Amino acid sequence: MSGKTTLIDHPLILHKLAMMRDKDTSTKKFRTLLREISMLMGYELMRDLPVEEIEIETPLEKMKAKALSGKKLCIVPILRAGLGFVDGLLELVPAARVGHIGLYRNPDTLEAVDYYKKFPDDMGSRIVLAVDPMLATGHSAVAAVNHIKKTGATDIRFLCLIAAPVGIETFHAAHPDVPIYTAAIDRELNDHGYILPGIGDAGDRIFGTK
Ligand code: URA
């Protein structure tokens, strides 16, 4: 089975992403744009969530209306840049749980090393959205999903802003059952594992640390 990548390239998303890429965009603006994009992407990502008929009463009469059914959501940001996606997604699904996974890249090997994990107990019965703005080498994403699968989760989706072709390939090879949703597929990685043309260091740009 080979994995599926969905490009969510709605004009509003592309416009906001262009502003995020601009090196002169401020931290405040960058954060706002990421929050807006995460809502637009989340909207598309959740298009296939199951709904059920429920009976309600409007001020005028009874009716059968559609409401979300089935599995609940868990958002799992990969620390720290993944945090930039959380507020926007929670705005769409306020009852979602939030797990966390902390990974850093070994600067020499570019391998992902984990330093923190915390998930809700019932991951097996949830749709899990693993989120990280940049799918670069794919090592962090693969490692994060390895940890998420160990919790018993089986319905997992990976959401990013920009993916590199090599990251997509690595991720699908390791997790063909986990679809990727991205707003852009950029050209390549530089020698330090950064995506070109990219947005630079997503964590630094979200948190203003550089
Ligand atoms: N992480 C980032 O923040 N930016 C990249 O370009 C690649 C990985």
Is 58 a catalytic site residue? no
* Averaged pLDDT for residues 34-43: 97
**Distance, CA of 181 to CA of 4 (rounded, Å):** 9
Nearest to 138 by CA among 122, 162, 154: 162
Using the mean position of ligand 1's atoms as its centre, give its distance from the Cα of residue 206 in Å.
Answer: 12
Backbone angles phi, psi at 155, to 5 degrees: -105, 95
Using the mean position of ligand 1's atoms as its centre, give its distance from the Cα of residue 127 in Å.
Answer: 26
Give the model's confidence band at 112: pLDDT under 50 very low, under 70 low, under 90 confident, else very high. Answer: confident
What is residue 183's DSSP assignment? S
Does position 111 have pLDDT exceeding 80, yes or no? Answer: no
From 9, 22, 87, 109, the catalytic residue: 109
pLDDT score of 157: 97
Tell the residue nearest (CA) to atom 7 of ligand 1: 194
- The domain segmentation of the chain, as residue ranges, is 5-207
Q: Which of 20, 80, 195 most suits a substitution to test ligand 1, by most atoms within 8 Å of the C-beta? A: 195
Q: Quick one: CATH architecture of 5-207? A: 3-Layer(aba) Sandwich (3.40)
Pocket of ligand 1 (CB under 6 A): 81, 134, 136, 193-195, 198, 201-203
Give the model's confidence band at 34: pLDDT under 50 very low, under 70 low, under 90 confident, else very high. Answer: very high
Is 22 a catalytic site residue? no
**Interval 91-110: pLDDT, tens:** 999 999 999 999 887 778 77
Residue 27 vs residues 33, 96, 157, 160, 175: alpha-carbon distances, Å: 10, 27, 28, 19, 33
**Percent over 70 (pLDDT), the chain:** 99
**Distance, CA of 13 to CA of 184 (rounded, Å):** 10
**Interval 159-181: pLDDT, tens:** 999 999 999 999 999 999 999 99
Task: Provide the mean pLDDT of the chain.
Answer: 95
